[in-house]
Amino acid sequence: MLAQKMPSWLLALTAVALTANAAPCASTSECSPVSFDVAATAQNAILSPSYDPNNETSVIEFINAMARGEVNPVVGVQEIGGSFLINGIYCKPAKGVKKQRNALQILVHGITYNSKMWGGYHFGDKYNWHAYANSEGYHTLAIDRLGHGLNSKLLDPNTVVQPTLQVQIYRQLLQCIRSNTKGNSLRRKFTNIIYVGHSYGSQIALPLARLYPELTSALVLTGWTSRTNFSEVQKFNLASASTIYPSRFPGVAKGYLTLASESLRTSLFYYGGYDPAIPTFDFANQDIVTVGEFAANANPAFTSPPENYTKPVMVITGVEDSIFCVQPGVAQRECEKLLEKTRTDVFPNVPAKKYEYFAPRNTGHDLTLHYSAPETFERAHKFLNKYF
């Protein structure tokens, strides 16, 4: 397997950026940058040859046609493996925090985001998942998913940066953390690991829970339900990241994509109660999504539900999340019905008493960046505190 080496300039940037990102956690947390060298192999999808991966227009037309159901994006599978450097930020409760739990929350972001979203950027602790979790005695590890954040952009966005490989990376990472093996940068093991996802990060939890249920002690899935509104996905107005941000993504392959319109991104991800400065910052600092991440949703190895998973699950999605819940203006109860249905659709063997949901009002897709974020944090940890 070929090792994926991080360039020296990116290593230096990693140290600076992750140290800066630690500041918002200072009040209730002790934070530090971490990285893991993870060897993993997966059966990734072979994508349809109907598009030119070196042509931006062709790439975007392929994704739009897929979202409209006009093309089958997957024509087979192939083994992809390597050694991958995964970066993140690890926060632990400060010494003054009375509650100390032997539980780690691994925080997994969605598309066009990275690990920094969990810290609320620079907008204060009320948007900071780390700060709240650490104040409750939990340890947190926010990771940059493969190809995102400070991780290498040299990987092929068509064949390599796919969710099936990411699942195998998380398998190896969680096993390492559980057993405190040599590669565990946290320097301690955790027997209780809680997977917390947002959007696509929540979707990735499903095959992980199906294939390796022993690795997680509970799931908290945010910005997600069992229904995806693909008519909203078609509004993404994608462009190659190297086109939109040539200084941030110089020479990056055309299959690394991002959203081209700030107003459209805001309308898709935000609703009602939010600081208007956040979507502007969000757009200027948005991350990527790859062709492989979009197309591999059609890979059965990724989409099959974890029907035999029996551990605690909580799903939290904003009432006005038009991608995963309902269109703005629809009654809250309709969103709650969908959240109820998600248990029977995806987690039929999770006992009803171990499944909870919460639909914050006046809240869109990026629920931890809305004014309702503190309530979301509180409800999630009230649920978790029953078990840890």
H/E stretch holding 108 reads: strand 103-108
Q: Which two tokens stand for residue 184?
A: 């565990």
**Residue 3 forms part of a structural domain:** no
Positive or negative, the CA dihedral 299, 38, 158, 219 is: positive
pTM for the model stands at: 0.91
Contact 252, 241 (CB under 8 A): yes
- Region 6-32: mean pLDDT is 44
Q: How far apart are CA 80 and CA 5, in angstroms?
A: 16
Closest listed residue to residue 159, CA positions, set 4, 288, 48, 39 = 48
168 sits in the region (left: phi over 0; alpha: psi -120 to 50; else beta) called alpha
Residue-wise pLDDT tens digits, 146-199: 999 999 999 999 999 999 999 999 999 999 999 988 889 999 999 999 999 999
Question: For residue 34, what is the domain's CATH number?
Answer: 3.40.50.1820
Give the whole-number percent of the chain exceeding pLDDT 70.
91
Residue-wise pLDDT tens digits, 224-234: 999 888 778 78
**Residue 179 forms part of a structural domain:** yes
**Residue 2 forms part of a structural domain:** no
Q: How far apart are CA 21 and CA 43, in angstroms?
A: 34
Contact 196, 313 (CB under 8 A): no
Residue range of the domain that includes 223 = 8-384
**Residue 374 forms part of a structural domain:** yes
Closest listed residue to residue 309, CA positions, set 219, 226, 216, 209 = 209
Eight-class DSSP state of 364: -
Instruction: Report the domain count for the chain.
Output: 1
**Residue 1 forms part of a structural domain:** no
Q: How far apart are CA 279 and CA 277, in angstroms?
A: 6
